[in-house]
Structure 1
Amino acid sequence: MQSNPSKKIIVIGGGIAGLSLAAAMRDWAEVTVIEREPHLGYHASGRSAALFTETYGNRLVRALTLASRQAIVEGGFVAHQRGALHVGWKGDDAAIDRLAGELQALVPSVRRLSAAELHALVPVIAIEATCGGVYEPDAVDVDTGKMLAACASALKASGGTIRTGEEVRAISALGDGLRVETSAGAHTADIVVNAAGAWVDVVAGMAGLPGLGLRPKRRTAFLFDPPAATDIAGWPLVVDLHEQFYFKPDAGRLIGSLADETDSEPCDAYPEDIDVAIAVDRIEQATSMRIGRPSTPWAGLRTFAPDRTPVAGFDPRLPGFFWLGGQGGYGFQVSLTLARLSSALMRGEPVPEDVAALGVTAAALAPDRFLTRSATP
């Protein structure tokens, strides 16, 4: 069904942030997505081992996550009922008790596990090595490919356009709108959305705007085989309490990671051998698993705002320029809600009622918060 647009909008970035917003706007705007890479989800979105967990991130991120669960479930984007387990070690009893209390206040299904219960759930962690952990049973794996494809299909079905392999080179004011110059020509729009992931500050610079201080951070992961004759299908995501590593099942194998956040310039990220080696050593030290040489290492950039809360809103310095970035490691679990919220803001509407009821305000997400801060002596 073709939309009846009243606004012309260009979205820069074909990851989950840009695509979910483009799909959310399809009924009221003529939307064009411009992606520099040859296919959608090329960078962070295509390299994510996404887990939907309601206990991850700061208060605003958790609120956005809570508001997203229904859409993820109803959209058919749940790949597996996974669960998430924070593991404490000998001497961590007080920290685990404290974490259990904090998370139970947010998510009532969260449980404090004893050392024996934790070992029964993940037998490669010895009873004598752990003080137990904190378990979130309702965390789920997200089918990232399906979510990306669904957003792209919904946009195209409504008459929207996706342009891949096209690089944005300059953005400038043009009358009441904006002009976007690319490697394939020039486009005009009423609104330009900066959803360029690790490149959000770079794209702002193309519009003559200083960035907001959003920082890409590299995370490295790899695959390895589980112990022989071990059924790992029911294992949760296992996260070290001190965030020194994690591992989780994936299609019969295990994904391992250092859980690193290494500052990086925007780039096509590649794994560092030392990061893989340190992660392997930490997982082997904490479990009975012997990984040896892992396979298929990869890296992706997760981009965070200075306060680790996403940015969504118009830039007061350039009318029509809308920021949607800094989704960090939470992109797939918050993108559908941020898309609804951003679509409403662009139409001059308030934050959707269900999202506002969770304490999310437009001001808390607006780029203005960094501009005000930077202007304060």
Structure 2
Amino acid sequence: MKKIVIAPDSFKGTMTSIEICSYIEDAVKKYLPDAQVVKIPIADGGEGTVDAYLSGIGGMRRRKTVTGPMGAPVEAEYGILPDGETAVIEMAAASGLPLVEKEKSPMNATTFGTGELIANAVENGCTKIILGIGGSATNDGGIGALTALGVRFLDETGREVTPDGKGLARIASIDAAGLPERIRRVKLTIACDVKNPLAGKNGAAHVFGPQKGATPEMVEALDAGLLHYNSILTKLTGIDRKDESGMGAAGGLGLSLKTFLDARMEPGIDLILDTAAFDEKLEGADLVITGEGKIDGQSKQGKVPVGVAWRARKKKVPVIALVGDVGAGYEDLYEEGITAIFSTNKAAVPYEQARKTSVEDLKFLTESLLRAYCAVR
């Protein structure tokens, strides 16, 4: 009997990882009816992280109305794992880019809602939090989240600054006395695959600001604001973190959470693979099918297909990646353990057109792949 492990990421904006698992399973069962299929929906800290955890090990969902990135209320969801003590939160649910598609403005965007989700999880008895910080719309250095948790950021007159990107440059002092002890004691793990430093040409504002709506002038202002905020924190703690790996993720949110909550940053793909007992489920597998919306040379930094391939390579299991788009540098991924890469796009068309037929295209590709597999076998 053949054993096939299906472990894809979502195709952002078109299909969730759970849906993709089902589509691929249907094709496998059609052509290999006796095969053992193991479905492991995956996420790397961005969209789909909560679904991946709950699908992998179970748990319950919680909903909370929180402050969205531009201040309007949004309905956000997070998960509590079966131990009743661990919450899985997606920053994108409260402070994500899809929530501001029509009004992108990182100068005014806030992570306040993310802080509200953390507070709500603690109120519900959670002492451990896994926070996925992919897909943010913000560049506030995390002061929004900390404000929601009780920290006060004050200007030279003693007034609280706005907890957003433009407020960073006005911070003169910080009052953390209002941060509850139960929040301080939380074991917070940040699922993050971004290694960019806080500021500079490779930092949060320069690299990620434009996709969040920042103009060149805004990029410079946000970059200066993050450096100013870091200088305040350095004076407060004696630790300068501006050059630490990952501090530029999610508009600098990690800087605040690491400073005030002693958060630990770990690769998101490793966290979910370990939690889902991926290595155990890989035992005896003949093939792994993974995938994501776009694959390119940057996928080596810990994106789902490569993270899956690293594990599979150790057990000498071939890995096929089904993806929406193939970008520059994909050849390097063969050395990371991916055996072959196939694109679902049957024609070179713009994303907005391709997304309309993404489900049909994935099914077509999977069936074509399995027909070839059965013929060769």
* Range of TM-score over shorter length: under 0.3
Could you state the TM-score of these two structures normalised by the residue count of structure 2?
0.25
| Higher RCO (Cα < 8 Å, 6 or more apart) | 1
Q: Which has the higher helix share?
A: 2
